[in-house]
Amino acid sequence: MGRIKILPEEIASKIAAGEVIQRPESVVKELIENSIDAGAKNITVILKDAGKALVQVIDDGCGMSEDDAVIAFERHATSKIETYEDLENIRTLGFRGEALASIAAVAQVEMKTRTQEDELATLVKIEGGKIIEISKTSHPIGTSIAVKNLFFNTPARRNFLKSNYTEFKHAYEAFIRFAIAYPEISFELISDDELISKFEATDFETRIKQIFGDEFFKTLIPVDEKTEYVSIYGFISKPEFSRKTKADQFIFLNRRYIINRSINHAVYNAYEHLIDKGNFPSFILMILIDPRHVDINVHPSKLEVKFDDEQGIYNFVRAVVKHSLSKFNLIPEIEIEP
Ligand code: ADP
Ligand code: MG
């Protein structure tokens, strides 16, 4: 008798879910991504108990037909890619077809969704990966997904969650990142019945002011440069407003929030000699590049990406930040590197 056994689907899916869904923040992130991919103009996020009891995301995007609404919860179910080649040219935030399946495996989910063609919306209830109801209901065009009692069936995970203060902070940060990257979408966040944020649809600069306030905005200088390969726009802090913490540092690649040490380092390097050691600049940098030049499928969270020309990006970011600092007469003019 061999000792190796194939895990039952129920256990396998809980393990897989753990890769994508770590805490309420992950649910907020995945659901907002889906709403943006669905073309939503208005997105509302509702939290109860810092998302532990409820994360609900309501959008006015394209919605789903009844067939799609059911299949959407299957693992690897996606409308965003069809072939392996599509992976090289991702223009949506999602593409792995894992989020809804993962969320449904570890929570109690209620989805209402309606397309423009349909009179009635479809209601799908699914708990621990099992569909318990499919019915018709009335609902505006768009989708509302309510995720209740996250990790109700994985107590170890549930116990691992931090205080409401900490979990809320994470969820809020995820929300804010989308608000920064998508100023043309209006965003609203309600937590325990209190309106926390409401950002009307606007342009990028105004959105930054909406989020961070006019006072903070005055400490920033703009960045805006492009080559054939890559373009960067955004804001960086004036050197005198550098701080002891690495606060308010954001890098977006094709409007996706990413973590990239190399780009951070390129920015710090550009500020060298302008700020004291142990102080850090703030920055909000939007990098746009042909998706064929990046691999975002490095990790399920898609927070890390690989550029085909890491050194080129590093040099460009450093040059652009230096150039912006010099343009604002903060340092002597420096030739921008090709
Ligand atoms: P992915 O986003 O990687 O495709 P998900 O599991 O997040 O995978 O979603 C599965 C599919 O369900 C999506 O490809 C999309 O077709 C559909 N979907 C999910 N959320 C929404 C939404 N808010 N509006 C419309 N369609 C959605
Ligand atoms: Mg998705």
pLDDT tens digits, residue range 82-107? Answer: 998 888 888 999 988 999 999 999 99
Q: Domain 9-199 - what CATH class?
A: alpha beta
Domain with CATH 3.30.230.10 in the chain: 219-327
pLDDT at 56: 98
ipTM tops 0.90 = yes
Cα-to-centroid distance, 72 and ligand 1 (Å): 6
96 lines ligand 1 (CB under 6 A): yes
Q: Which of 73, 100, 102, 115 to mutate to test the pocket of ligand 1 (most atoms within 8 A of CB)?
A: 100
38 lines ligand 1 (CB under 6 A): yes
Give the separation between CA 219 and CA 275, rounded to whole angstroms.
14
For residue 319, is pLDDT > 80? yes
Mean pLDDT computed over 187-195: 98
pLDDT at 195: 98
**Taking all residues of the chain, what is their mean pLDDT, rounded to a whole number?**
93
pLDDT at 273: 87
Mean pLDDT computed over 205-216: 97
Q: What angle do CA 269, 271, 276 make, to 5 degrees?
A: 110
59 lines ligand 1 (CB under 6 A): yes
324 lines ligand 1 (CB under 6 A): no
Buried-exposed string 165-193: b where 16+ CB fall within 10 A, e elsewhere:
eebbebbbebbbbbbbbbbebbbbbbbee
Give the separation between CA 183 and CA 208, rounded to whole angstroms.
9
| Residue of the CA atom closest to atom 25 of ligand 1 | 63
Give the separation between CA 271 and CA 26, rounded to whole angstroms.
33
pLDDT at 247: 86
pLDDT at 300: 75
Which ligand gives the minimal distance to the CA of 103? 1
pLDDT at 335: 55
How far the first Cα of the chain sits from its last, in Å, is 65
Give the separation between CA 278 and CA 317, rounded to whole angstroms.
21
Q: What is the CATH number of domain 219-327?
A: 3.30.230.10
pLDDT tens digits, residue range 248-259? Answer: 999 999 999 999
For residue 332, is pLDDT > 80? no
Cα-to-centroid distance, 272 and ligand 1 (Å): 44
Cα-to-centroid distance, 96 and ligand 1 (Å): 10
Global pTM value: 0.94
300 lines ligand 1 (CB under 6 A): no
Which pair of structure tokens corresponds to residue 145?
């997904």
pLDDT greater at residue 275 or residue 194: 194
Please, which pLDDT band fits residue 337 given cuts at 50, 70 and 90? low
pLDDT at 334: 55
Cα-to-centroid distance, 197 and ligand 2 (Å): 23
pLDDT at 245: 87
Phi-psi region of 241 (alpha: psi -120 to 50; beta: other; left: phi over 0): alpha
Nearest to 97 by CA among 20, 162, 169: 20
Cβ neighbours of residue 51 closer than 8 Å, sequence gap 6 or more: 23, 24, 25, 27, 28, 150, 167, 168, 171
| Residue of the CA atom closest to atom 14 of ligand 1 | 78
CB 112 within 8 A of CB 122: yes
pLDDT tens digits, residue range 277-313? Answer: 899 999 999 999 998 899 887 777 778 888 889 999 9
Residue type, 85: E
Q: What are phi and psi of 95, to 5 degrees?
A: -175, -10
CB 45 within 8 A of CB 187: yes
Phi-psi region of 129 (alpha: psi -120 to 50; beta: other; left: phi over 0): left
62 lines ligand 1 (CB under 6 A): yes
Nearest to 154 by CA among 115, 132, 127: 127
pLDDT at 330: 56
pLDDT tens digits, residue range 42-80? Answer: 999 999 999 999 999 999 999 999 999 999 999 999 999
